[in-house]
Amino acid sequence: MASNKKQFSMVRALGLAILGVCLSGTVASAATATSSFTVTASVASSCTVGATNIAFGAYVPTAASVGNSTITATCTSAVTPSVTLGFGNAGSSLPRYMASATTSTSHLPYYLFQDSMLSVPWGLTSNQTVTMSSSTGIGTITVYGQIPANEFVPAATDYTDTINVTLTY
C-alpha cells in the first residue's frame, strides 16, 4: 500500500507541475519572422483594330444595294480613338469603286457612309470617334455602304476593293 501512496503522490506532483506551467503562460513557442513583397505592372497604351467585310451580293441596277461593316477597336487603357478610312482603288477621290479582276477598265462605284441614313459620307478627311466601353476597352462603329441604283457596269464579273482602316489613339 505504501507503494500505491508513493505512486499517487508522484502522479499528483507531476499533474500539479504541468498545471503550474500551463497557468503561468510560459509555454515554449516557435519564433516567427515576416516580410512582404510588392506586385507591379506597367500598361502601355495600345489598341488593335479589326473590321468585317461588306458583301453587297449580286448587283441589280434597278435598285441600290446596301451593306455594312463593323469596325472593332480594342484598347488597353482609357483612350478615345478615331477611325479614318482609306480610298482603296479610288486613290484620293470619290466615289470609291470596286475594280474587276478580269477587266482593268471595268469599275463599279460605291459610297461609304458614317450613318444609317446614308447622309454623312466618309471622305478624305472624315473620321469618326469610337466610343469605348470603360469596363472592357472595346468599342465599335458601323460603316454603311451603298452601290447606287442605275449604275452602268461594262462587264458581268466579280468586283472588289480593299479599304484600309486607320485607328488613331
pLDDT bin (cut points 50, 70, 90) of residue 15 is low
pLDDT (0 to 100) of residue 169? 84
**The residue count for the chain:** 169
Domain residue spans in the chain? 47-168
CA distance 142 to 52: 10
pLDDT (0 to 100) of residue 105? 84
- CATH H-level, domain 47-168: superfamily: Fimbrial-type adhesion domain (2.60.40.1090)
Handedness of CA 46, 134, 142, 112 (dihedral sign): negative
The average pLDDT across 26-39 equals 85
pLDDT bin (cut points 50, 70, 90) of residue 29 is confident
| Residue listed under C-alpha cell 476593293 | 161
Copy the grid coordinates of residue 94.
470619290
CA distance 158 to 156: 7
The winner for highest mean pLDDT among 77-81, 101-105, 112-116, 129-133 is 112-116
The average pLDDT across 117-143 equals 81
Locate all alpha helices (DSSP H) within 25-164, ordered by sequence: none
